Structures are given as C-alpha cells and as structure tokens.
Amino acid sequence: MRRFKYYTRVVVLFIAFGAGLSACTDDEGNKRTVNLFSVQDDKDFGAQVAAEIEADAINFPILDSAQYPEAYGHLRRITDTILNSGKVRYREDFVWQTKIIHDDSTLNAFCTPGGYIYVYTGLIKFLESEDQLAGVMGHEIAHADERHTTEALTKQYGTEVLFAILFGNDQGTLAQVAKEMISLKYSRNNETEADMRSVDYLYPTGYDARGAARFFERLLDLGASSGPEFLSTHPSPDNRVEDITSYWEDKGGKVGETYKDRYDDFKKSLP
C-alpha cells in the first residue's frame, strides 16, 4: 500500500508539473524548479535527513548538548530571538532544532527542510559578534522558511528521487543528500531572497539587522577566497553587502546591537 501511494503521488505531481511548467520562470526570465512538496513533506523529509546526519558522526561530529549546555544555550537564544521576531512564516510549523558540528576548519551553516539547523564551530569562532551569527542564522532559516531547500533539492535530484526517499524507497540516496546539504546549490534569486529575509527577521529584534553583510565585509577585509556556500555563490560578496545595506536603509536604517561581549562568552564555551 505504501509503494502504491508513492507511485500514485508521483504520477499526480508530474501531471501538475507538466501543466504549470510554462509559467515557471523568475523575475529575470530564468526557469525555476517547481516546488511540488507540501509543508508536511518538508517536515517529513527534513526529519529523515536530520536522522541521517546525526547518525553519521564521521562527517558530522555533533557536539553533545548535555556536555556543552552553555554553548547550546547561546545558540538557542540567538535562534529563538529570530524565530520570535514575528516574521518567520512557519514559526509554529517547523521543528527549528539547532545543533553544533565540531569542525573548526569549516566556515559554514546549513538548514534542512523543516528547520533542522546545523552550525559549524569554525564559523562561530570566525565571527566577531553575535549580530553576525544572527545574520547567518537568519539567512539559513530563510532557506527553510521560504522553502528554497526542497526547491533546490528537486532541481538537483529530481522529483521522483526525492519522493522515493520520502516514502522510504531510496535510503542510499538519502545518505548522499545528507552529506551534500552543506554544499547545496541555491539559485541567485533564492540567495538574494534569503539575504533580505535575514534583514527582515533581525530588524524587529535588538540585533543590528546588517549582521550577514558584516560577515561579507569580514571575508572581504581578510581577502578570503572561500567560505560558506551562501557567501561564495553569486551575487558576489561585495554586491551582497551593498544590497543588504540598501535594503536595511529602505526599512529605516535602525542601528541595533552587536552583542560582542556575550558572543565572546559563546566562543569560550566551545571546545
């Protein structure tokens, strides 16, 4: 019965996909991948990917929250502040679970469908103040909240493969998807939208809403040639600083706090 429901769902979705394909373009006239997943599908698929990630201690050495309660307290405070901004659409629908991956060599963070968020110690230690990490977190939350993640996965793997995973019929590909979440390719529009949503999320809070832009500035100042996937893809970091700052100014240009001192405490709580 489970397999029958899977194939029925795929047939129906491909019919819908074919009917709506001609209208599937973005503002620049480029073709976009239709997101045929429901919100519940995002939640179910995200839970499967998260379980795969957390079972893979070699590729994803996750810090134990019981062993590092102070570090997790800092991370959850940042996450909750963003989620309680009143701007996150699926605040009550997605799980919004946060985990820290112990890898000081990796400057990255990512979020699965359904709101499972992973932040690397390398990224936390590279940043200088809490508003910068909040900006990065806002960007990643936006990818899940705007449902960019399943859109990008559909483009990369195809609808049939993803629904096979969702219905438990392709566990081998599930493991591959989990490993590649860190380098998932988003479209230009998705990246820009996530940048702007980060400003929207932070603006009602005490944070300076230009946090993500300040990370770009730090990379540029240091001459960094690589970094998190969302920072290395188009548009270029310098253009993104300009675009984020312009968007922040259009909202009123309210100057928030950086919370550097308590962010230093966060970094000291890490191994």
Cα–Cα–Cα angle for 47, 63, 91, rounded to 5 degrees:
40
pLDDT, position 214: 93
pLDDT, position 237: 79
Ranges of residues in the chain with a pLDDT under 70 are: 1-35, 170, 224-235
pLDDT, position 99: 98
pLDDT, position 9: 44
pLDDT, position 228: 57
Identify whether 271 is preceded by a cis peptide bond (ω within 30 of 0).
no
pLDDT, position 32: 52
Q: Which of 112, 253, 258, 103 is nearest to 180 (CA)?
A: 112
Tell me if residue 257 is catalytic: no
Q: Distance between CA atoms of 210 and 199, rounded to whole angstroms?
A: 6
* Model pTM score: 0.84
| Per annotation, catalytic residue among 52, 130, 140, 191 | 140
Q: What is the pLDDT of residues 204-216, one digit of tens each?
A: 999 999 999 998 8
R_g of the chain, CA atoms, integer Å: 19
